[in-house]
């Protein structure tokens, strides 16, 4: 298989690249550092997919968790993602684009207003290599949540389990361009008032590299 690995930063991709260099695998791997955020991801991913064809694209990186049942350092598979900030303020109420008629909730590439992992669209169907990972819902943000008020508000509105700054953009482009896709995220921190001392970035990056290699080795 020809597989595209997409990460926002060199720091997220480097441990995975070291694992790939140290271990044998059967795939052709192309790595892309797309940059931080939705706009950079959309641009760089679209550019490479216009030039090359891939059997699968995998978005890898760290994320914050709302769900305290997910351990710091744990790797999860994001199967559903959405742009949480695509809203209109109506007084104190927030309404999504779908709710006010700016977009149909099932307009391609959305399904019921969200963007999905499309790994299972591979033909012939493959067994999911991530059966032991938690499958979670995510939101993608420009403004990372870090106040009690904003965290409470997003929990009440969408109740996400994790958040990143690129995932939904990755799903959007892959789904539009009909490239099967997976998203693997390692939890570096809980979503709370910013507290870098409580983060586990190195553990998350190490575990992410291990799980990415395991995933690649299970793909046939």
Question: pLDDT tens-digit profile of 35-82?
Answer: 999 999 999 999 999 999 999 999 999 999 999 999 999 999 999 999
Question: What tokens does 129 get?
Answer: 């290599």
More confident: 126 or 93: 93
Domain ranges of the chain: 2-218
Residue 17 has pLDDT above 80, yes or no: yes
CA dist list (Å): 148 to 48, 87, 154, 185: 39, 20, 10, 24
Rounded Cα distance, 180 and 76, in Å: 18
Task: Identify whether the C-beta of residue 208 lies closer than 8 Å to the C-beta of residue 17.
Answer: no
At 121, is the pLDDT very low, low, confident or very high (cuts 50, 70, 90)? low
Give the residue ranges of DSSP H helices in 79-219.
Answer: 148-157, 167-176, 201-218
Q: What is the pLDDT of residue 130?
A: 56
Q: What is the pLDDT of residue 125?
A: 46
CA dist list (Å): 16 to 68, 90, 117: 26, 44, 21
Per CATH, the architecture of 2-218 is what?
3-Layer(aba) Sandwich (3.40)
> For 18-39, what is each residue's pLDDT tens digit?
999 888 778 999 999 999 999 9
Nearest alpha-carbon partner for 182 in 124, 113, 136: 136
Rounded Cα distance, 105 and 84, in Å: 14
Q: What is the pLDDT of residue 95?
A: 86
Residue 220 has pLDDT above 90, yes or no: no
Q: What is the pLDDT of residue 143?
A: 92
Q: What is the pLDDT of residue 202?
A: 97
More confident: 93 or 145: 145
Give the single-character DSSP code of 71. Answer: P
Arithmetic mean of pLDDT, 104-129: 76
The model carries a pTM of 0.91
């Amino acid at each position: 298989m020809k597989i595209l690995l997409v990460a926002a930063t060199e720091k997220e991709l480097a441990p995975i690249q070291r694992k790939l260099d140290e271990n044998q695998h059967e795939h052709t791997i192309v790595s892309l550092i797309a940059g931080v955020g939705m706009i950079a991801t959309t641009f760089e991913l679209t550019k490479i997919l216009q030039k090359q064809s891939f059997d699968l694209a995998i978005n890898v990186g760290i994320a914050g968790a709302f769900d305290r049942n997910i351990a710091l350092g744990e790797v999860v598979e994001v199967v559903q993602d959405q742009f949480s900030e695509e809203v209109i303020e109506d007084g104190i109420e927030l309404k999504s684009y779908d709710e006010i008629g700016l977009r149909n909730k099932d307009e391609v590439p959305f399904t019921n207003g969200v963007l999905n992992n499309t790994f299972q669209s591979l033909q012939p169907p493959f067994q999911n290599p991530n059966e032991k990972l938690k499958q979670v819902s995510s939101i993608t943000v420009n403004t990372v949540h870090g106040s009690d008020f904003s965290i409470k508000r997003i929990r009440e509105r969408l109740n996400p389990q994790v958040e990143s700054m690129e995932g939904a953009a990755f799903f959007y482009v892959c789904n539009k361009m009909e490239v099967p896709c997976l998203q693997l995220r390692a939890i570096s921190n809980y979503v709370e008032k910013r507290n870098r001392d409580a983060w586990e970035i190195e553990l998350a990056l190490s575990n992410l590299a291990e799980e990415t290699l395991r995933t690649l080795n299970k793909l046939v």
